[in-house]
């Protein structure tokens, strides 16, 4: 066992002494040491229920013959960090989480890891660590939140709180209604109810084979989730015995399957950042063009909020979950092993669709193409991303006038004070990985635009990124970013911008010569933050089109 380096032999008597100080028995020292990397936090709704899941994982590990050790990891709630400088820390926390898992696992020579996660950056950070360490690992996502209820219908975070800000500003709801929505939309523990980033990544983790079947959709409050936690604890021991390593699971085929599922589900655009970053740790390259290639051949068969109005994660779970989705997609998926010991093809064969409206057949999709499109053009020659499944057919082609803002806050102020009019293209720049720093999500301005009734008449483009809850003609990840001398940094107020999603194009009405002239005269990028972790991050981070990994 790897842990023998830290516990076996006469010379390791002091090491054992410290291990006994934790309260474990002499018998436990001779068992595999299992790290339970828990991102429990009182601050993050998606993580507040993890104390109980830790207990069930511990029971599973003990019952299968292992010795469990829980250690903590940081967790950022994107919703709470949204709309202010705190969001600068969200994407960078992905790298910190991967580094923390590596540090603890390597320092203590752990034999295997159960990675207990749920929210946006924590799940990809842990998957990155699994790929980097390549020791036996299994993921456990803590599960989605149930929907709230208010005025006779189900409610959720994004549609009914973020967009309510715009509704209130447009005087479509009263302040008392806004307050009542605040109390009703999020009824308890779990990741936010729609197919936003956290739940998208949980589903993709399952389809990649790094978590047990049904883990991605089983609700946080369910006994099913506890049983999965127990079985996850048991399963890590079997992975150690058979030396089944993450890179045996996270193969090119696994990432291909993840992208297929992402397109079929209409998942968050953040996956275009996270999947390449995880693949990078496994020695695999995922170019942006692969996402678009798969999107064009994958029907869009599941339409959860925010793209749809009627269905949430709990509906996907009751309809059969990810195994049911895999059963529909089985002709598009590539066979691959999973941590469960059952192959992708066998899981797909066993899946059963219980609701053909929640999970539609391939012959009756919501759209012929997948949920995400990759655009290129003279202001994004390395590419940019749009969640086309959440764009109205009327806005799939859009030409408008640029309204330039150098930060999210200035754009948000203009939107709320009704300075943005139909036909405008809101341009938010210097919010990329380097320029932000940290590539903040722009959910507040996009939700405000929707709430104010402008989702079909106003577009938004940014070198930052969006929450999985964003809808409308919103183009993110524009690469290269303004801080890296990207052309988005030289567009002027009032200039014409054209977005053509069906033809995968985005451009400003500027000649190549004019763009080159302006870039040559552009001032050198001056970092916004010059001290602390974000200063280091800004200097080391790569472009969004490569996954915003650290160089």
Q: Are 67 and 61 in contact (CB under 8 A)?
A: yes
Element (H, E) at 377: strand 372-377
Q: Are 73 and 243 in contact (CB under 8 A)?
A: no
Instruction: Find, among 484, 471, 365, 379, the residue nearest to 430 by Cα.
Output: 484
With a CB cutoff of 8 Å and minimum separation 6, the contacts of 495 are: 401, 402, 508, 509, 510
Q: Which of 38, 90, 268, 467 is an active site residue?
A: 467
Q: What three-state secondary structure class fits 505? A: strand
State the virtual CA torsion across 172, 175, 176, 182 in degrees, nearest 10: 90
Element (H, E) at 181: helix 175-184
- For 324, counting Cβ atoms within 10 Å of its Cβ (0-12 exposed, 13-18 middle, 19+ buried), the class is buried
Please, what is the end-to-end C-alpha distance for the chain in angstroms? 33
Gap between the Cα atoms of 524 and 521, Å rounded: 9
Total number of residues shown for the chain: 551
Q: What three-state secondary structure class fits 352? A: coil
Gap between the Cα atoms of 263 and 82, Å rounded: 26
Gap between the Cα atoms of 307 and 474, Å rounded: 13
Gap between the Cα atoms of 412 and 235, Å rounded: 47
Instruction: Find, among 510, 455, 367, 451, the residue nearest to 171 by Cα.
Output: 451
SS3 assignment for 207-224: HHCCCCCCCCCCCCCCHH
**How many C-beta atoms surround the C-beta of residue 101 within 10 A?**
26
Looking at the DSSP assignment, which residues form a beta bridge with residue 123? Answer: none
With a CB cutoff of 8 Å and minimum separation 6, the contacts of 509 are: 495, 496, 497, 498
Burial 36-48 (b: 16+ CB within 10 A, else e): bbbbbbeebbbbb
Sign of CA dihedral 479, 483, 485, 491: positive
DSSP 358: T
Burial 492-521 (b: 16+ CB within 10 A, else e): eeeeebbbebeebebbbebeeeebeeeeee
Sign of CA dihedral 262, 121, 285, 217: negative
Question: Residue 538 to residues 147, 407, 430, 483, 533: CA-CA distances in angstroms?
Answer: 37, 16, 12, 10, 9
Q: Is 467 a catalytic residue?
A: yes
Catalytic residues: 467
């Amino acid at each position: 066992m790897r842990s023998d380096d830290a516990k076996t032999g006469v010379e390791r008597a002091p090491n054992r002494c410290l291990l006994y100080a934790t309260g474990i028995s002499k018998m436990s020292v001779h068992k595999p040491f299992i790290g339970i990397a828990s991102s429990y936090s009182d601050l993050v709704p998606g993580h507040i229920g993890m104390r109980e899941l830790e207990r069930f994982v511990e029971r599973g590990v003990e019952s299968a013959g292992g010795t469990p050790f829980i250690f903590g990891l940081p967790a950022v709630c994107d919703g709470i960090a949204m709309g202010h400088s705190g969001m600068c820390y969200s994407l960078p926390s992905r790298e910190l989480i991967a580094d923390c898992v590596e540090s603890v696992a390597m320092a203590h020579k752990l034999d295997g890891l159960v990675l207990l996660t749920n929210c946006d950056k924590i799940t990809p950070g842990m998957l990155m660590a699994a790929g980097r360490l390549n020791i036996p690992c299994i993921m456990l996502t803590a599960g989605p939140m149930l929907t709230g209820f208010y005025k006779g219908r189900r409610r959720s975070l994004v549609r009914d709180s973020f967009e309510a800000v715009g509704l209130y500003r447009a005087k479509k709801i009263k302040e008392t209604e806004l307050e009542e929505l605040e109390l009703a939309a999020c009824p308890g523990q779990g990741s936010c109810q729609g197919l936003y980033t956290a739940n998208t990544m949980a589903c993709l983790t399952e389809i990649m084979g790094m978590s047990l079947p049904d883990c991605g959709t089983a609700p946080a409050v369910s006994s099913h989730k506890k049983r999965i936690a127990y079985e996850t604890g048991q399963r890590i021991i079997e992975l150690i015995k058979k030396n089944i390593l993450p890179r045996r699971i996270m193969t090119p085929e696994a990432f291909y399957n993840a992208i297929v599922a992402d397109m079929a589900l209409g998942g968050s655009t953040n996956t275009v950042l996270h999947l390449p970053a995880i693949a990078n740790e496994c020695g695999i390259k995922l170019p942006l063009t692969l996402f678009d290639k798969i999107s064009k051949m994958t029907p869009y068969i599941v339409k959860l909020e925010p793209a749809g109005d009627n269905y949430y994660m709990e509906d996907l779970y009751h309809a059969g979950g990810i195994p049911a989705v895999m059963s529909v997609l089985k002709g598009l998926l590539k066979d691959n092993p999973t941590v469960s010991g059952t192959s992708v093809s066998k899981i797909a064969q066993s899946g059963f669709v219980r609701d053909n409206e929640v999970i539609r057949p391939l012959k009756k999709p919501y759209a012929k193409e997948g949920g995400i499109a990759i655009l290129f053009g003279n202001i994004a020659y390395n590419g940019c991303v749009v969640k086309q499944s959440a764009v109205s057919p009327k806005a799939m082609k859009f030409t408008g006038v640029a309204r330039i803002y150098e930060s999210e806050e200035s754009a948000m102020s203009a939107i709320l004070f009704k300075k943005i009019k139909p036909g405008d293209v809101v341009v938010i720049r210097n919010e990329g990985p380097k320029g932000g720093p940290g590539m903040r999500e722009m959910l507040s301005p996009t939700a405000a635009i929707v709430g104010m009734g402008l989702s079909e008449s106003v577009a938004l483009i940014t070198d930052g990124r969006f929450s999985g809850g964003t809808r409308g003609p919103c183009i993110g990840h524009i690469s290269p970013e303004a801080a890296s001398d990207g052309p988005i940094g030289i567009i002027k107020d009032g200039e014409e911008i054209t977005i053509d999603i069906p033809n995968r194009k985005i451009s400003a009405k500027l000649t190549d010569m004019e763009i080159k002239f302006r870039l040559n005269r552009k001032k050198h990028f001056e970092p916004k933050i010059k001290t602390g972790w974000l200063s280091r991050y800004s200097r080391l981070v790569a472009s969004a089109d490569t996954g915003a990994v650290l160089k």
